[in-house]
Structure 1
């Protein structure tokens, strides 16, 4: 038997804001909010499904430098250009992490500056 990723925990200054942003990006909903301010979001089937949930955990530590791990997303119901417009309208911003400009993906950052990439392929 193997393990699989069930949750990704992201330290952040404002869990509510990041949870709202990522809910918009991924079509997730808020699953729980802890007394310490942590917010867990996930797909409609909730924790334990095929997709991991995201837990935004409050932290006062500042983000320093490029993250050693980032999230890649793919559009599910539109092309990459339309999805890029949607993500930018939701609060993402373009970020330069050393790309050449020839990549087939877009490098973006969430409202707290966490890098993620919008890939070209559309998933169904």
Structure 2
């Protein structure tokens, strides 16, 4: 038997803003709140334990500094990469140069709190 990712936890100074950003990026909805005011977001029709992991955005005064050892890659599902890049930038993402070079087939972006993620070129079917 193997494990499967059920949820990802992201610490944030402005957890409301970050939960809204990632909800819009992924087409997720707010599923609930924990006692510490953490916000769980995920697919509206599946929720916890479904085929996609949920994300818990936890409030912290000072997120731990330094590069995250884990980052998220996203792929467009209903448009090409250029159109999805435009949408993500309009939501508040910003481009980041990590030395990927001009021939990279992906875009490195940062969410509103500076967490890096990549927009891949390959289009995936929605889950």
Q: For residue 123 of structure 1, what is the aligned residue in structure 2?
A: 124
Partner Cα distance (1:66, 1:105) in 2: 19
**For residues 1-124 of structure 1, what are the structure 2 equivalents within 5 Å?**
1-44=1-44, 45-124=46-125
**1:66–1:97 CA contact under 8 A, matched in 2:** no
Partner Cα distance (1:5, 1:110) in 2: 21
Q: How high is the TM-score relative to the length of structure 2? A: 0.93
**2:11–2:63 CA contact under 8 A, matched in 1:** no
Which ranges in structure 1 are unaligned for 5 or more consecutive residues? none
Task: Provide the alpha-carbon RMSD of the alignment.
Answer: 1.1
After TM superposition, give the deviation of residue 118 of structure 1 in Å: 0.1
Partner Cα distance (2:98, 2:66) in 1: 10
**2:76–2:124 CA contact under 8 A, matched in 1:** yes
Count of equivalent residues: 124
Partner Cα distance (1:3, 1:109) in 2: 29
